[in-house]
Amino acid sequence: MKMMIAAVALVSPLMANAEYTPFDKQQPINFECQTGVKIHVVDKKHVVINGDFDAEVLEISADRLQAQGGHGDNLLTTNIDLRFMGGGYYSLLVTEMDYTDAQGPWNAKVLSVNALICTRTQ
């Protein structure tokens, strides 16, 4: 019995200090957000939103994922920024932009901006 208590005492600090990686780049990840939005990170290059919109990953790190997808002729784009907040929660910022008649991102028209809270699912 003393042996078991000693083993638990040694392992507990290791578990507490284990590094939690919110974004595992090696395998697919699923998220579910408020209002039923579902995000599936397929791999290091593709994200599928609600099962029908494919976005290209621009950046993925241990605690952040950014992706962008175009609609039709890519003048209409959707940008997502998913960040780990801690405690198993992620913040999702979705920005829809219209680049029709724009000279660059500085004068593109913002169509909508939505912020949601997400959690990881299996």
Provide mean pLDDT across the span 23-47: 84
pLDDT confidence tier of residue 27, bands split at 50, 70 and 90: confident
Q: Which of 76, 110, 105 is nearest to 93 (CA)?
A: 110
Strands 29-33 and 109-121: antiparallel
Half-sphere exposure of 75 (CA within 13 A, CB side): 7
pLDDT digits 0-9 by tens, 42-69: 888 889 888 878 899 999 888 899 999 8
Share the mean pLDDT of the chain: 80
Helices (H), the chain: 2-16
pLDDT confidence tier of residue 4, bands split at 50, 70 and 90: very low
Residue 47 contacts residue 34 (beta carbons within 8 Å): no
Domain 22-121 sits in CATH at: 2.40.128.30
Q: pTM, whole model, 2 decimals?
A: 0.73
User: Is residue 115 scored above 60 in pLDDT?
Assistant: yes
Domain map of the chain by residue range?
Answer: 22-121
Burial class of residue 27, CB neighbours in 10 A (0-12, 13-18, 19+): exposed
